[in-house]
């Protein structure tokens, strides 16, 4: 059985005249800046704020591809670990490694796997339903990692009530919006 076609990530089409290392570095920096901005758009819940970050993680993974997507998330997490106030609620809620070890740490770990999954699927298909399902699975990975981390701190029941339930509706809308954005981008960038 032949393997499915491998598609180039839309980000590979940006700035084609630049050397690949410089292009990928610029894209990773821009992606980390977009993640930073998405952290500051928030609804203040406790212990986990609602932000636009999950949607941005899905978009970065899908549009950058799995390798550059994960590298971009790692760059962002490194910026935060070094003490830059890139996370939601920083610097007021702390910065650096102590912040990352707090209630949102598991969600941040989940971003790496979510970006990889979104990028992996989009590299193999341009069909709407598989992309939608992949983004839903990627969001479930973020929830699973976040829930597991939070449950250690506040117990499973409280972690589910405060770290999953309040976010389901908003994140479902984010999955739909991310899917529409990805599909529209792919239609403009994929040769026919």
Q: 0.95 cut: is pTM over it?
A: no
Question: Is the per-residue pLDDT at 192 higher than 80?
Answer: no
Report pLDDT for 141: 98
pLDDT digit string, tens, across residues 111-133: 999 999 999 999 999 999 999 99
Alpha carbon distance 159, 181 (integer Å): 31
**CB of 187 within 8 A of CB of 63?**
no
What beta strand segments (E) does 8-107 contain?
A: 42-43, 50-51
Write down how long the chain is: 192
Domains contained in the chain, CATH given: 21-189 (1.10.1760.20)
pLDDT digit string, tens, across residues 26-71: 999 999 999 999 999 877 666 677 889 999 999 999 999 999 999 9
Phi, psi of 136 (to 5 degrees): -65, -40
Alpha carbon distance 157, 77 (integer Å): 28
**CB of 94 within 8 A of CB of 102?**
yes
Phi, psi of 54 (to 5 degrees): -55, -40
Alpha carbon distance 49, 136 (integer Å): 20
Distance of CA 152 to the CA centre of its chain: 23
């Amino acid at each position: 059985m032949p393997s499915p076609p491998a598609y180039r990530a839309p980000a590979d089409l940006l700035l084609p005249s630049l050397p690949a290392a410089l292009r990928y570095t610029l894209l990773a920096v821009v992606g980390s800046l977009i993640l930073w901005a998405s952290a500051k758009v928030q609804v203040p819940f406790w212990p986990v704020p609602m932000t636009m970050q999950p949607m941005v993680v899905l978009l970065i993974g899908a549009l950058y591809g799995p390798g550059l997507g994960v590298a971009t998330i790692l760059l962002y997490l490194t910026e935060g670990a070094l003490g830059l106030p890139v996370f939601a609620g920083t610097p007021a809620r702390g910065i650096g490694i102590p912040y990352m070890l707090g209630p949102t740490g598991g969600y941040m770990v989940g971003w790496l796997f979510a970006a990889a999954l979104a990028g992996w699927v989009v590299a193999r298909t341009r069909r709407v339903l598989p992309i939608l399902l992949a983004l839903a699975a990627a969001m479930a990975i973020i929830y699973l990692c976040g829930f597991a981390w939070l449950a250690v701190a506040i117990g499973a029941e409280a972690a589910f009530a405060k770290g999953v339930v309040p976010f389901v509706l908003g994140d479902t809308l984010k999955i739909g919006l991310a899917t529409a954005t990805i599909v529209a981008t792919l239609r403009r960038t994929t040769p026919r």
